[in-house]
Structure 1
Amino acid sequence: MTTAATLIPELDDIVRRGDPKRRADAARRISELFLQGAASFRADHVDLFDGVLTSLVPHAELAARANLAERLSLLANAPRGLVGQLAHEDEIAIAGPLLRRSSVIDEPTLIEIAQAKGQGHLLAMTERPALSSGLTDVMVLRGNRDVVRGAASNAGAAFSSDGYSTLIKRAGQDGVLTLKVGQRDDLSAEQLKDLLSGSIDVIRRRLFEVVKPARQMAIKRAMNEISGIADRVESSRDFAPAQRTVLALHSAGELNESALLGFAKSHKYEESIAALSAMTGVKIATLDRLITGDRYDPILIAGKAVNLEWATVRALILLRLGPNRVASPADIENARVNFARLMPSTAERVVGFWKTRPLA
């Protein structure tokens, strides 16, 4: 460290006994010296700078540390100790640039930071060119919506089997995440089927529109497996008598929510679907296919679009299950919460989509 000693003859004294202001000034000068000569320094030179700077840089002002972190993030031979020190800082303006792109930070350090720090640190890591499955395991467990979406969007990210399971589970409540996961090249056929099983029809259709042709074929196969048939067949139910009943109620001015609730509580499936069709304007065949699917979301959407009370929506969910099946209290409560959160404008848009583009 003769160069540094020449630049700052009193360096030893500053490191040992200097006041914060002198240390900050020394940190600035030595950092600049390192950055100017980094391309020509040998590994032992870098280690010497590392030892000095890790003692001095913490005394520098935030702006100076952030600027240093930004510049170090681009260097393949940046001092490891200093980089690790800065990457652990709580201030994301300092840690962020290094977490996004520094090649000097090893995987154990990244995982340690991901487990201990906040969402800003996790989000910064999602921008790295590659993410190990060990790191994404932490991200999908600890990360908020933006973090998980960022990880799923990263083509260089790897996910373990457990990580993918968690990712797909979270996608069940996040349509944007479903679209991002569904476009990943490393998604297996079985994982695609799990993803589609947990998504509502409008998201499935949107995913089909944005993926590559090869993935479109995979989506078609997965949907056939989910429905349990090789080709879609028409419902075997006869809705004609139910339609006549509903038409008579409509003519008498008695087709209302109370009538729908009565049909649902009496487990009159055809009459319930015919009544809901008349109230929403969606074709009976379309509603039948939606409601007999794997999820109760279409009931929530249709109910919110025509301003049904929760009691009626709940009765329709139980009707969907059939008289010999009992819904778990947790499932019913989850449905109630989702129904309360669903915006009427969103439900109306989806119902409008069902009207103009009925299921094939």
Structure 2
Amino acid sequence: AKGFAIIVGQAERDPELAVSVGVRVDLPSELRRQLLRSATDAVRTRLLSRAPPHLFEEIQSAIAAVAIGAEREMSAVRDFEGAKRAIAGLKATGQLNEATLLGFARQRRYEETVAALAALSGSTVEVIRPLMQSLREDGLLVPCRAAQLGWETAMAVLECRFATGAMTPADIARTQGHFARMTAENAKRTLRFWQVRAS
């Protein structure tokens, strides 16, 4: 199983390998679920199309479980009050900055990341939260740009949305290009508009 764990780790970055490993009969179920958690929709679809009949149901139910888990994770009822207080405290003592946000995002401290991004972008948790719950990246780039964050921090914030798994290299490249083209002025304007709409 240790050999499989290594292959699954490599397959998370290689769609071709993911498909060929995912349909193997001797792959332990837990590792198949792990592979599916980080797989893109395209890889999941190909796995289903190539699955032998006796594995089809197992793969299908694993994909369903992963999807439910991701939705539950992203729409979980979260308590932002504590995070808001903590961030307000950091702001009051001049300790709230991009490095602080980067730390929260890297540790996947979801509530603190949302509250810190809201404070740094001059927005509110109510505006940032739905952007964090969306599977699309572009909305979340707006407050990141408005807060004048660097790409590394913006990327960490994007990744913080997921409990497990990560964006594909193609997604990252596309998103980085989008981020580079966005101006802070436009981002602030958009954010103000969303702010008015939310209130």
Please say whether Structure 1 and Structure 2 have the same fold, judged by a TM-score greater than 0.5. yes
C-alpha separation in 1, matches of 2:93 and 2:186: 32
CA contact (8 A) 1:235 1:285 kept: no
Structure 1: runs of 5+ lacking an equivalent: 1-227, 229-233
- Asked if 1:242 corresponds to 2:83, the answer is yes
C-alpha separation in 1, matches of 2:76 and 2:122: 19
Residue 325 of structure 1: which of 140, 144, 165 is its match? 165
C-alpha separation in 2, matches of 1:251 and 1:346: 28
C-alpha separation in 2, matches of 1:309 and 1:303: 8
Partner in structure 2 of residue 159 of structure 1: none
| Amino acid aligned to 1:324 | T
| Amino acid aligned to 1:339 | F
Partner in structure 2 of residue 264 of structure 1: 105
- Asked if 1:314 corresponds to 2:134, the answer is no
Describe how 1:326-341 pairs up with structure 2 within 5 A.
326-341=166-181
The total of aligned residue pairs comes to 126
Question: What is the TM-score when the length of structure 2 is the normalising length?
Answer: 0.59
CA contact (8 A) 1:263 1:269 kept: yes
C-alpha separation in 2, matches of 1:348 and 1:266: 27
What do you get for the CA RMSD once the two structures are aligned?
1.8
Partner in structure 2 of residue 302 of structure 1: 143
C-alpha separation in 1, matches of 2:122 and 2:195: 7
CA contact (8 A) 2:122 2:147 kept: no
Over residues 148-182 of structure 1, what are the superposed CA-to-partner deviations in whole Å (9 max), with x where a residue is unaligned? xxxxxxxxxxxxxxxxxxxxxxxxxxxxxxxxxxx
Give 1:235 shift. Answer: 6.5
C-alpha separation in 2, matches of 1:345 and 1:241: 31
- Higher Cα Rg, which structure: 1
Give 1:311 shift. Answer: 0.4
Describe how 1:181-196 pairs up with structure 2 within 5 A.
none
Partner in structure 1 of residue 55 of structure 2: none
Residue 351 of structure 1: which of 168, 191, 199 is its match? 191
Over residues 275-320 of structure 1, what are the superposed CA-to-partner deviations in whole Å (9 max), with x where a residue is unaligned? 1111122221221112211311122111111110000000011111
Partner in structure 1 of residue 7 of structure 2: none
SS state at 1:238 partner: coil
C-alpha separation in 1, matches of 2:166 and 2:121: 27
Residue 285 of structure 1: which of 126, 134, 151 is its match? 126
Partner in structure 1 of residue 61 of structure 2: none
SS state at 1:272 partner: helix
Partner in structure 2 of residue 97 of structure 1: none
- Identity in percent: 36
SS state at 2:198 partner: coil
Which aligned segments of 4 or more residues in structure 1 are displaced greater than 6 angstroms?
none
Give 1:345 shift. Answer: 2.0
Question: What is the TM-score when the length of structure 1 is the normalising length?
Answer: 0.34
CA contact (8 A) 1:260 1:272 kept: yes
| Amino acid aligned to 2:139 | P
C-alpha separation in 1, matches of 2:170 and 2:136: 15
C-alpha separation in 1, matches of 2:172 and 2:108: 18
Describe how 1:1-360 pairs up with structure 2 within 5 A.
236-320=77-161, 322-358=162-198
CA contact (8 A) 2:104 2:113 kept: yes
Over residues 328-353 of structure 1, what are the superposed CA-to-partner deviations in whole Å (9 max), with x where a residue is unaligned? 11101111111001122221111011
C-alpha separation in 2, matches of 1:235 and 1:323: 11
SS state at 1:357 partner: helix
Structure ranking higher on relative contact order (CA contacts 8 Å, 6+ apart): 2
Structure 2: runs of 5+ lacking an equivalent: 1-70
CA contact (8 A) 1:281 1:355 kept: no
CA contact (8 A) 1:242 1:271 kept: yes
SS state at 2:128 partner: helix
| Amino acid aligned to 2:179 | F
